[in-house]
Amino acid sequence: MNLILDLDTGIDDALAISYAASQSDANLLGITTAFGNVRVETATRNSLAMLELLGLTDVPVAQGADRPWGAEEKYVPSETLLQVHGRNGIGEVVLPEPQRMPETTNAVDFLISKAREYGKDLTLVTTGPMTNLADAFKKDPEAISSIGKIVSMAGALTVPGNVTRYAEANIVNDAAAAKYVFESGFDITVVGLDVTLRTLLSGNDINAWKQPNSAIGNALAQMSDYYYANETDPDGNSVGGALHDPLAVDIALHPETITYQVPMNLTVEVGCESNGRTIGDLNRLTDETTTAIVCTNVEAAGFSRRFAAAILGLANRDQAQ
Ligand code: BDR
Ligand code: CA
């Protein structure tokens, strides 16, 4: 499967890149980056550094949005986000300075050109704010509509949000762009907190990656330890190791992981108390066609085990080299 990952590369995005790298049926065509967990420049740097760690030095990285729609200033992550993902976005793990530069093409043009080249044979997974996707659709709706599959880690339909009681981080970081995406009329699979909060990693899983001679295993274990000590809900309760972004990659590759889904027309509430809430679009409630598939249950334990084993496989291979 030809895959592009659109990321705001913090810790679970880094785990998502690693998971994609472990899957023999994934052909990673590139990474596009956006602000979110970190500034966009840090997301780009982290993506390049992760690709080098994983030995994927021919996978291009194209930098994208540095702020949400309508913002005059460049985005700066909140103190809370810097605590969840660390000040460098990857849990204070120090990876070597990347040897490569990002593409000269920006994320939007990169997405459009790959959509034109691969069309229905392209799968796009977004695990950050939807700004790049919204900008790309605005610029070339025909190209973006031709993409075979779009899967987004975004939103919270049946559970509370993780930034406010209403809103999940990737949506609320650019609620206007997310609303535009959901109302644009192309098909999208939504992997929100409804399911990602069910897919948890255990301390034992993480400890098993700590192989003495594996740079990959140790870096991912250290990041995960950091994340799982610091990710909390809006009330400050520990979330306990939710595999948000890796689950979106898994669902793109293996849709059978979904055990329950709701086809619906989705929108986002903007500029009100519930800013960033994902909810059914009243204006399209009676439409015969629906464009979003919202995942509401998944084979959670099975995926968590598969994920932990896939990273262990990367660590073992790395150690053997
Ligand atoms: C999502 O927000 C980001 O902080 C994570 O990387 C994930 O994509 C979870 O709400
Ligand atoms: Ca993310």
Contact between 167 and 214 (Cβ < 8 Å): no
Q: What does the radius of gyration of the chain's CA atoms come to, in whole angstroms?
A: 18
Q: Which residue's C-alpha comes closest to atom 5 of ligand 1?
A: 12
Name the catalytic one among 109, 244, 245, 250: 244
**pLDDT score, position 238:** 75
DSSP 137-199: HHH-HHHHHT-SEEEEE---SSS--SSSSS--HHHHTTHHHHHHHHTS---EEEE-HHHHTT-
For residue 200, give the 3-state DSSP assignment: strand
pLDDT at 221: 97
Q: Is 244 a catalytic residue?
A: yes
pLDDT tens digits for 240-278? 789 999 999 999 999 999 999 999 999 999 999 999 999
Structural element, H or E, at residue 215: helix 215-230
Of the candidates 37, 48, 49, 51, the one whose C-alpha atom is nearest the C-alpha of residue 9 is: 37
At residue 319 the predicted structure's pLDDT band, cuts being 50, 70 and 90, is: confident
- Contact (CB, 8 A) for 184 and 288: no
How far, in Å, CA of 197 to CA of 191, rounded? 10
Going by DSSP bridges, is the β-strand pair 61-63/258-264 parallel, antiparallel, or unpaired?
unpaired
Q: Give residue 146's pLDDT band: very low, low, confident or very high (50, 70, 90).
A: very high
Q: pLDDT tens-digit profile of 208-234?
A: 999 989 999 999 999 999 998 877 777
* Residue 150 neighbours by CB distance under 10 Å: 23
Of 191 and 320, more confident? 191
- Write out residues with Cβ below 6 Å of ligand 1: 10, 12-13, 37, 127, 153, 162, 168-170, 244-245
User: Would residue 194 show up in a list of annotated catalytic residues for this protein?
Assistant: no
DSSP 8-class letter at 61: E
Q: Using CA atoms, how far apart are residues 96 and 125, in angstroms rounded to an integer?
A: 26
CA 287 / ligand 2 centre spacing (Å): 31
Shortest-distance atom of ligand 1 to CA 162? 10
